[in-house]
Structure 1
């Protein structure tokens, strides 16, 4: 009789083998001088030795050897961080290392402002009939197209936390008034934000935003402790525009390749409610409410 094969166990074994192979490949590509070690004259193979990686990462040589052999050992997040540093992994490689180790990476916000590259900005501009914008790790709105400004208002008028999706959702009355299904939409948006916030827990900018939302919104204050989590979802959004009336969009978002934490959100007009024609009208007249400043939504 053949032994019972657990599919989950087999998957874990395969992941350990992939983890081991990835470690070896990253070790073998490094030149000793790149990490401050002498190249020497008696190296039979290229790259670092196992004991050198172990020394750089602050772990035992035997234990590191077991990792490269695919043994059933489980490195902590701290050890994975140390290995990533020792092996000079970039952001994508570091994330891959954590995935293979079956541990979620503890992400850190990069110093300086987030940047939306020119190709993404050109793509935004090309979406003439679809409101679209790019959000960052903390859901700050970083770039948008003319259609988004026509429907939701000019985000350039907002600064700091005010140009943040969660702030707009929970602390901007004009934005809230435009969302026909605000209670259900706000609840699921909060759950998606919490999932994205988890890797950055403790980050000062995140914590400051959350504190301000607790102070500004009774709903946020009530819902945040519930610990609800949701992945990024697609669906329909009904917009009650102050000038064009009811508009219906199909909403989806995509991770921006090569940019950690950035997502592209796109609103596609739905035939119901003559939304496409209304959007075209708004884009012909960018400011339909001159009597008062309409805050972006």
Structure 2
């Protein structure tokens, strides 16, 4: 006699199973199957269980409808003459995504499964989900953070640059939660010409601040500002546990920069708030600004930061600096600043 606990699920209506009882734990390398938290007769056992069950039901329905919408031709599969299923079959999605057929079936049927980020990425590619649909998939799967493929090399909508340019002489930039710089205007580049000289793929504010040579450091209070930014990064990373784009970035940063690793190890967290900060100009003068962040509805997990001069002197210096930047460009602006000595600048770190 087979113990009842050893067998727990039968897919009686799924083609090819023949009514075979499947082991609960038979989910190879794709995720974790958890015990159901519902009573077959009475439904969910608690309010939180009810919410989770609803989420799993929504996830299953979303996957099924997107599967039915994806044609065999979309997936590079010959349609054949005996196909009755609209769109792709479950086994086709499983094969194309590199997961088990039974496991994917359970996912569509609302079983309590914890899929990995990599598996969801593969399913999203198979079903040809766009960015909004993929983000919805991760939320339904209860992933702590949505993986971000946004990088400084991804083209931004032209209207974003138009808005940034219209803000001149106010410095403005668009950055991700990981501090990747997506776009900026000439006024921002005038404050930090060293960043403007970097290749687009290397424009990360934190990386720049920790690795730039002293004469390229733009911040007056370097220690205070980078500690605050790392605390913000720590808070954001807590919402993205398991996201390989974030874990890989932080691991590489920690391994290559001891100062970052030291500050990261403090486990300090901070929220994104409006704050005053000061920049060195290329001539060694100080410009004080108020940094205000605005969420970008069209690009999730990004903000537009606008820097407003904090006093009349800073406003005048900034106006002159922007004019020089637009005339000379970042390299020549830095060269002439170095030639004048930049006497007011002190050691950054």
2:289 to 248, 261, 266: 248
Unaligned runs of 5+ in 2: 1-41, 326-332
TM-score by length of 2: 0.64
Write out aligned runs for 1:1-297 (5 A): 6-104=46-144, 107=147, 113-135=153-175, 139-153=179-193, 155-158=195-198, 163-172=203-212, 173-174=214-215, 178-180=219-221, 182-194=222-234, 195=236, 199=243, 200-201=245-246, 203=248, 208-214=252-258, 217=259, 220-230=260-270, 233-242=272-281, 245-255=286-296, 257-258=298-299, 263-270=303-310, 272=311, 275-286=314-325, 289=337, 291-292=339-340
SS at match of 1:34: coil
Counterpart Cα distance in 1 of 2:291 and 2:122:
43
Aligned residues: 286
Q: Structure 1 residue 238: deviation in Å?
A: 2.3
Q: Structure 1 residue 89: deviation in Å?
A: 2.8
- Quick one: structure 1 residues 280 and 112, their matched pair in 2 at CA, closer, same or farther if it must change by over 3 Å? closer
- Structure with greater proportional helix content: 1
- Quick one: structure 1 residues 50 and 131, their matched pair in 2 at CA, closer, same or farther if it must change by over 3 Å? same
Q: Structure 1 residue 13: deviation in Å?
A: 2.2
Counterpart Cα distance in 1 of 2:79 and 2:43:
48
The residue aligned with 2:329 is none
Q: Structure 1 residue 75: deviation in Å?
A: 2.8
**CA shift digits 1:174-211 (9 cap, x unpaired):** 5657434x4332212113335459632564x7655544
Counterpart Cα distance in 2 of 1:3 and 1:35:
38
Q: Structure 1 residue 102: deviation in Å?
A: 0.7
Q: Structure 1 residue 80: deviation in Å?
A: 2.4
Counterpart Cα distance in 2 of 1:107 and 1:117:
21
Unaligned runs of 5+ in 1: none
Counterpart Cα distance in 2 of 1:293 and 1:152:
17
CA contact (8 A) 2:152 2:202 kept: no
The two structures, once aligned, show a CA RMSD in angstroms of: 4.1
SS at match of 1:192: helix
Counterpart Cα distance in 1 of 2:117 and 2:57:
19
**CA shift digits 1:1-34 (9 cap, x unpaired):** x999844333322221221121012101111233
Counterpart Cα distance in 2 of 1:13 and 1:50:
21
TM-score by length of 1: 0.73
Tell me which structure has the larger Cα radius of gyration. 2
Counterpart Cα distance in 2 of 1:37 and 1:4:
40
